[in-house]
Amino acid sequence: MPAEPLAQTTLNREESLGRRLAISSVAVGVLLAAAKIYVGLRAQSHAVLSDGLEAAGDVLSSCVVFLGLWIASKPPDAEHPYGHGRYETLSGLAVGAMLLLTGAAILWHGVTSSEPARSLPFYTLYPLFASILLKVGLAAAKLRIGSRIASTALRADAWHDLTDLLSTGIALFAVILTLIDPARFGGADRVGSIIIGIVILFLSARVTRQTMDQLVDTMPEPGKMAQIRRSALSVKGSLGIEKCYARRSGMRYHVDLHLEVDPDMTVRQSHEIATEVRFAIKRDLPWVADVLVHVEPSPLVSNALPTRAQRERIHGK
């Protein structure tokens, strides 16, 4: 099988795996959120209830991520010649917004609550331990697959899982303190919910900033740009690169490349080199969706074409 179809098939398979992972995350999140909210209400634990609300937000964000990945996987059409990748980026931004709202709500509830401190039953710990085990596995899988397919939404959802894991750890610590000495640490449960809200707010800012960078067409890191240039210059007839830009659309990049060739070449010859450069970049770098190659005369060739001023002098203009 040719290298280009093989790389593309692998990437499509991993994108499909990312969508299945998002569905699994929703199922696990529904169970954990229901368990935490139920136990939090029954045990009257602020920390566990706050963690349950954060888990419910995690379920909603996973649904948004799955929807974004599904739409982003659609091929380009007449109305979307660059594909539908921006929907994946928008879903990552939506996850950040939901984190922001969830953190603000939890923080407000913890600060304004005036209920007296109380002891907690031991079963309050059960959903917290289960959540830690499940979230560690989900976050690790999402970060790994999200990095392979360069999915902002999936990595944002992984950070949401880590947020849930961190908030669960805070809730667990607060509940354990209350169980050890209710008279002395009875307020730890309420303080734990406040800390959870603050942590979620900080992480929401991080996720939102990453997605905003993509929406304003921030250039990829220098390492990726170096890979693009190296792949282009590997084609015979490529003499240099005058300019190279790349902008992200969803999980892949669209590249604009100004390629320098021998100015004495015919239009057909330079076009063939430009076409080979485009195929080479897409073959070598599966994370590149498409390449637009502009052909420029190389200044390194001594018998370069005359400038406009020189042509005007030759023709007596």
CA–CA separation, 38 and 47 (whole Å): 13
* Closest residue by Cα to residue 153 from 251, 247, 10, 76: 251
C-beta separation of 55 from 164 below 8 A = yes
- Homologous superfamily (CATH) of 222-314 is Cation efflux protein, cytoplasmic domain (3.30.70.1350)
* Closest residue by Cα to residue 115 from 59, 31, 187: 187
Q: What is the pLDDT of residues 257-268, one digit of tens each?
A: 999 999 888 999
Question: Model confidence at 9, in pLDDT bands (50, 70, 90)?
Answer: low
CA–CA separation, 78 and 71 (whole Å): 16
Query: Going by C-beta distance under 8 Å and a sequence separation of 6 or more, which residues neighbour residue 47?
Result: 40, 170, 171, 174, 175, 188, 189, 190, 192, 193, 196
Residue 309 pLDDT exceeds 50: no
What mean pLDDT is predicted for residues 29-53?
86
In the block, residue with structure tokens 């693009």: 228
Mean pLDDT of the residues in the chain: 78
C-beta separation of 277 from 238 below 8 A = yes
Percent of the chain with pLDDT over 90: 15
Residue 11 pLDDT exceeds 80: no
Q: What is the pLDDT of residues 110-131, one digit of tens each?
A: 787 766 656 788 888 888 998 8
Region(s) of the chain under CATH 3.30.70.1350:
222-314
C-beta separation of 22 from 65 below 8 A = yes
- Range in 40-49, 85-94, 264-273 with the lowest mean pLDDT: 85-94
CA–CA separation, 259 and 237 (whole Å): 10
For the sheet with 288-297, list strands across it.
240-249, 252-261, 288-297
Classify residue 244 by its DSSP letter. E
Region(s) of the chain under CATH 1.20.1510.10:
3-215
Pick left, alpha or beta for residue 151 (phi over 0 → left; psi -120 to 50 → alpha; otherwise beta). Answer: beta
pLDDT at residue number 53: 79
Three-state DSSP state, 216: coil
pLDDT at residue number 104: 86
- Exposure string of 66-78, with b = 16+ CB inside 10 Å and e = fewer, is bbbbbbbbeeeee
pLDDT at residue number 68: 73
Classify residue 286 by its DSSP letter. T
Q: What is the pLDDT of residues 159-206, one digit of tens each?
A: 767 777 777 888 888 888 888 887 777 778 778 888 888 888 887 887
What mean pLDDT is predicted for residues 70-92?
72
* Closest residue by Cα to residue 229 from 257, 251, 254: 257
Q: What is the pLDDT of residues 208-257, one digit of tens each?
A: 777 777 666 677 788 899 999 999 999 999 999 988 999 887 667 889 99
Q: Is the pTM of this model over 0.95?
A: no
CATH of domain 3-215: 1.20.1510.10
